[in-house]
Structure 1
Amino acid sequence: MTSVTIERVAWTHPDAERLRAAQRVELDARYGSDDHEPGVIPSAEDVPVFLLARDPHGEAIVCGGLRPLDDHVLGEGVAEIKRMYAAPQARGTGAATALLSALERAADELGLRRLVLETGTAQPDAVRFYEREGYAPIPRYGHYVQSDLSLCFAKALAAG
């Protein structure tokens, strides 16, 4: 496992923006360049927790955030993982697992009881990752209900 440092940054941090742009390039290659965000596009206003994992040289290699959901979507105490992305050189190193664990700890510290996420049918690597980390498939929710390309997952947290 690669030794990484986890850091909380602003949504607008240059390294966060760079990783999200790289994610967009990959998603465009998998799904086409049409807008493939079935839900509300995440922003600094609705993603209050955004983390970066840095390798031993200080390079940001993994990112991800938490977006609390309205109670009417999935109940109280639920947040959605948004823009989780590992740069190609970080895959298989444990860096993404470290960042996901840090997101889960941050959610637990906020008193959240459950995390949910949406990934896509053309991302079997992401599906395997989340399932390995204890996320179970759930019915599509919110803006994803009508999206045939969406796969949704959830995990209960210790606070729940």
Structure 2
Amino acid sequence: MRWTITTTPFDDPEADRLRRAQREELDARYGVSDHEPGVPPSAADVPVFLVAKDAEGVAVACGGLRPLAEHVLGAGVVEIKRMYTVPSARGTGVATAVLRALEREARGLGARRLVLETGTAQPDAIRFYQREGYQPIPLFGSYAGSDNSVCFGRRLDDSLD
């Protein structure tokens, strides 16, 4: 199956629909509605947000990039935010396609390294990132000390394209 992956404003209605679906799924997994440490991403700090649509034009996956302040993990580090795939599209390869597109976009932003946080109640996400070449890293920034967070990172010169 092929998807169309396009850069979309963070506050686009389809992007918002996907992020709301992600929030509902995370609320169900964690049993709480406030499970993200730190400042939630927004249009102001996510310069790249991608949405993947299926052959019928339905938005099925998304992900964004938020550059981190140099004092957090050094220069050239960008965080992946709001990576999500609707359940009906999981296992189709669309998440990998979005991840690779995010990696290309991050290189365009001058990033040397990508990092991300996912949760301990998301073993599917943990397996996905490890399979895609991301390595566990210490909790960083607002995730430090979180009992529900797992962080991963990957140097962008380790190309899997």
TM bin, normalised by shorter chain, reads over 0.9
Alignment of 1:72-87 (within 5 A): 72-87=71-86
State the distance in 1 between where 2:12 and 2:110 align: 26
Matched, 1:149 2:148: yes
TM-score, length-scaled by structure 2 = 0.96
> In the superposition, relative to structure 1, how do residues 65 and 59 fare at CA in structure 2: closer, same or farther (>3 Å)?
same
Give the C-alpha shift of residue 159 in structure 1. 9.1
- Equivalences, count: 159
User: Structure 2: how far apart are the matches of 1:110 and 1:28?
Assistant: 32
Taking the TM superposition and a 5 Å limit, the aligned residue runs for 1:1-150 are 2-150=1-149
Task: After the TM superposition, list the runs of 4 or more consecutive aligned residues in structure 1 that deviate by more than 6 angstroms.
Answer: none
- Unpaired stretches in structure 1, ≥5 consecutive residues: none
Q: Equivalent residue of 1:66, what SS? A: strand
Structure 2 CA distance for partners of 1:117 and 1:29, relative to 1, 3 Å: same
Superimposed CA distance per residue, residues 65-105 of structure 1 (whole angstroms, 9 cap, x where no aligned partner): 00000000000000000000000011000000000000000
| Equivalent-residue separation in structure 1 for 2:38 and 2:118 (angstroms) | 12
Q: CA deviation at 1:33?
A: 2.6
Q: What is the TM-score with the length of structure 1 in the denominator?
A: 0.97
d(CA) in 1 for partners of 2:35 and 2:109? Answer: 30
Query: Gaps (5+ residues) in structure 2?
Result: none
Q: 1:151 to 1:118 in 2, by over 3 A?
A: same
Aligned-partner Cα distance in 2 for 1:136–1:86 = 21
Residue 32 of structure 1 and its aligned partner are, at CA, apart by 1.3
Aligned residues: percent identity? 65
